[in-house]
Structure 1
Amino acid sequence: MPGRWLSQGLRLRPRRPPLVRQQSLRQPRPRRRPRTPQPLSCPVPEVLVSLPSEPAIVLLTGIQAAGKSTVAQMLAERLPRSVHVRGDGFRRMIVNGRADMSPDPSAEAAVRQLRLRHRLTAATCDAYFDAGFTVVAQDVVLGEHLGEMVELIRRRPLLVVVLAPRPEAIAAREEGRGKTAYDDWAITQLDAVLRRDTPRLGLWLDSSDQSPAGAGEEILARAWTEARVSSAAGSPTGR
């Protein structure tokens, strides 16, 4: 075969030796140090108070739209080993046959379910406290029901905090959040129940001009010394 190609005046090209890739003389690039994750930026109050070291049960109450849920969540997030107990969750667990509270004083089924919900809240608070948690429980607990709740919660220290913003501040918050917490109730009706019929237990805060974070920091600063309640009858006068 090679002779045939040579006889026709063709020359075979010699095979080129395979290229040998020279090793790069460049120095290896240094590995980049992993970036330290930066904390998420979130609004915090300018002054953060020191956290109390004593575990406790904090009962946060007030009328609808007083800021209980937001303030309770902020408190729980600031405290170590903490639990946020939402009393209204026990009401919403009822699928059929639920009877909600209304201005009608003869609504016995609604009152029975309200007291059931308070018993469940109190038992949950005690169980979490026994497990070593600071408990922040929040619900609408007004009138005679506040004294009953104080007796239902067995563990101490118990700190009662009442958020009592002015009715016009409540109305402005309702309008700003685009939903209403009031069906049959009027804001003025519930505010009257709060101020006229609710025993002055624990620490009462007019949070009308406070942000939720500001109210939370004031509670952290004052509740462990000013909101302690031993019993509904023998508690110090609220502030």
Structure 2
Amino acid sequence: MNQPCMFLVTGIMASGKSTVAQLLAAKFNKSVHLRGDIFRKMIVCDRKEVKPDAGEDQLEQLRLRYRLSAQAADTYYSQGFTVIMQDVVVGPMLAEFLSFVQTRPLYVVVLNPDTQEVAAREAGRPKKGYGEWTVESLYSVLNNETPKIGMWVDSSNLTPEETVEEILRRAWNEAHIVS
């Protein structure tokens, strides 16, 4: 695919974002897989982890991470790259994140496998994302507090490759953010 475009792949931890975003980026001729969590990891001292009872300090640092991701994505896009942003962007923060990204069209893909599948994926991977959060509590935020923006994919019974094919089949009509 030759025309540059911009995607956000989001969902809860262990929903398949990293794997799917990497595979999706590989489908384009000139692409970037931008992992938003890298901006969190860059903070050496006074990093604020977002917990279920996050205060304004934690949320402001999360907004900083999202702004940096959006700025990096817009910069890569301005140089002709298709950009696949990938991060946990859930709850009311999704709309805020989208306001930080200047590039349009922007395609939003929300990976939403069921809790049993997420728990199995989490158990089967070396890195662990869940601590104070539980799969069920973050899943609840995604499904009950996140605006139904973009294309939602229940990838519970799909391989990562099948998920990417589903995205490429549906995204152009369902995932497009206009404003």
Q: How does 1:1-239 map to 2 (within 5 A)?
A: 52-105=1-54, 107-231=55-179
C-alpha separation between the residues in 2 aligned to 1:157 and 1:171? 33
Q: Which amino acid aligns with 1:75?
A: L
C-alpha separation between the residues in 2 aligned to 1:157 and 1:217? 20
Q: Which amino acid aligns with 2:141?
A: V
Could you list the runs of 5+ residues in structure 2 that have no partner in the other structure? none
Could you list the runs of 5+ residues in structure 1 that have no partner in the other structure? 1-51, 232-239
Aligned-residue RMSD, C-alpha: 1.1
C-alpha separation between the residues in 2 aligned to 1:184 and 1:80? 40
Q: Which amino acid aligns with 1:182?
A: Y
C-alpha separation between the residues in 1 aligned to 2:19 and 2:12? 13
Once superposed, which parts of structure 1, at least 4 consecutive aligned residues long, lie more than 6 Å away? none
Report the CA distance between 1:55 and its aligned residue. Answer: 1.7
More helix by share: 2
C-alpha separation between the residues in 1 aligned to 2:49 and 2:36? 14
Paired-residue identity, %: 50
Report the CA distance between 1:216 and its aligned residue. Answer: 1.0
Report the CA distance between 1:53 and its aligned residue. Answer: 4.1
Report the CA distance between 1:225 and its aligned residue. Answer: 2.2
C-alpha separation between the residues in 2 aligned to 1:182 and 1:61? 16
Q: Which amino acid aligns with 1:95?
A: V
C-alpha separation between the residues in 1 aligned to 2:17 and 2:51? 20
Report the CA distance between 1:152 and its aligned residue. Answer: 0.9
TM-score (norm 2): 0.96
Q: What number of residue pairs does the alignment pair up?
A: 179
Q: Which amino acid aligns with 2:89?
A: V
Report the CA distance between 1:172 and its aligned residue. Answer: 0.9
C-alpha separation between the residues in 1 aligned to 2:126 and 2:41? 21
Q: Which amino acid aligns with 1:83?
A: V
C-alpha separation between the residues in 2 aligned to 1:122 and 1:175? 31
Report the CA distance between 1:201 and its aligned residue. Answer: 0.5
Stretch of structure 1 that moved more, 108-117 or 178-187: 178-187
Q: Which amino acid aligns with 1:171?
A: A
C-alpha separation between the residues in 2 aligned to 1:186 and 1:117? 22
